[in-house]
């Protein structure tokens, strides 16, 4: 079986360098055993065996609301949130190894106990790894916009992805999105409105106060790009 056999849709990411060095390497060596979820793979090193199920209570050692960030980057947003809300548990989903190492470095520096990271393809995480109806919030902040028209098929936010999100969310759970690309924002809105989720606003949401301004978002602001937020809720 090759990768295209079990992933009929193109993935929304490209593999970048995976080399770790300096503080990231040190953080990985010293803290990955605690923060990294080692999941069984199917073929690719970002795949998740469809038989695997996350037992969040066992992983975190308690029963708590679970927040999942899809594409956590360097961990700025999710580490800040985990520090600010110790009563909730957080899972960072990312394919970029240096980003995961940076997230672990940040979490370890704050001695966070309510955060874990996983290197995995997001649709596989939502479709099988996470038990259905168990996630309090799913965040999709600044996914790769794939701005060229011939690459738009690689965008993460699609009707099929929206239904994966809806399936993973608990009743009343929230899907929060943000992007700095106008065309992608319009696509996100179109996808959300056609999904089974309910928009909490007539269209765009006010900026999510729980999202710290990351270095990536700050660059977008400096470049003059408008940030669009969306918030959808799963009906009871």
Q: What is the pLDDT of residues 40-88, one digit of tens each?
A: 998 888 999 999 999 999 999 999 999 999 999 999 999 999 999 999 9
10 vs 110, which has greater pLDDT? 110
Q: Which two tokens stand for residue 74?
A: 């360097």
Residue 190 has pLDDT above 80, yes or no: yes
* Contacts (Cβ under 8 Å, ≥6 apart) of 203: 189
Residue 7 has pLDDT above 90, yes or no: no
Break the chain into its structural domains and give their ranges. Answer: 35-233
> Are β-strands 115-119 and 169-179 bridged in parallel, bridged antiparallel, or unpaired?
unpaired
Chain-wide mean pLDDT for the chain?
Answer: 91
Whole-number pLDDT of residue 5: 44
Residue 206 has pLDDT above 80, yes or no: yes
Please say whether the dihedral angle defined by the alpha carbons of residues 172, 178, 182 and 183, taken in this order, is positive or negative. Answer: negative
Q: Which two tokens stand for residue 57?
A: 């209570």
Considering the entire predicted model, what is its pTM? Answer: 0.90
pLDDT digits (tens, 9 = 90+) for 9-52: 555 545 555 677 788 899 899 999 999 999 999 888 899 999 99
Average pLDDT value for residue range 205-223:
94
Which residues belong to the active site? 144
> Are β-strands 89-94 and 115-119 bridged in parallel, bridged antiparallel, or unpaired?
parallel
Report domain 35-233's class.
Answer: alpha beta
pLDDT digits (tens, 9 = 90+) for 143-175: 998 777 775 788 999 999 999 999 999 999 999
Which H, E and C letters describe 9-26, residue by residue?
CCCCCCCCCCCCCHHHHH
């Amino acid at each position: 079986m090759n990768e295209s056999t079990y992933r009929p849709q193109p993935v929304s990411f490209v593999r970048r360098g995976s080399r770790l060095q300096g503080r990231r390497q040190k953080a990985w060596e010293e803290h990955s055993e605690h923060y990294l979820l080692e999941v069984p793979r199917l073929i690719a090193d970002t795949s998740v065996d469809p038989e695997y199920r996350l037992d969040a209570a066992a992983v975190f050692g308690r029963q708590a609301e679970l927040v999942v960030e899809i594409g956590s980057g360097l961990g700025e947003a999710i580490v800040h949130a985990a520090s600010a809300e110790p009563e909730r548990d957080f899972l960072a989903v990312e394919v970029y190894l240096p980003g995961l190492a940076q997230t672990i470095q940040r979490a370890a520096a704050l001695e966070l106990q309510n955060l874990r990271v996983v290197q995995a393809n997001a649709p596989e995480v939502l479709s099988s790894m996470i038990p259905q109806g168990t996630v309090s919030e799913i965040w999709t902040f600044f996914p790769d916009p794939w701005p060229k028209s011939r690459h738009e098929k690689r965008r993460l936010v699609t009707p099929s992805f929206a239904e994966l999100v809806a399936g993973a969310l608990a009743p009343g759970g929230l899907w929060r999105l943000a992007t700095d690309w106008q065309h992608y924002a319009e696509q996100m809105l179109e996808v959300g409105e056609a999904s089974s989720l309910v928009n909490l606003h007539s269209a765009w949401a006010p900026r999510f106060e729980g999202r710290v301004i990351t270095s990536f978002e700050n660059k977008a602001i400096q470049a003059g790009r408008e940030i669009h937020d969306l918030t959808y809720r799963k009906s009871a």
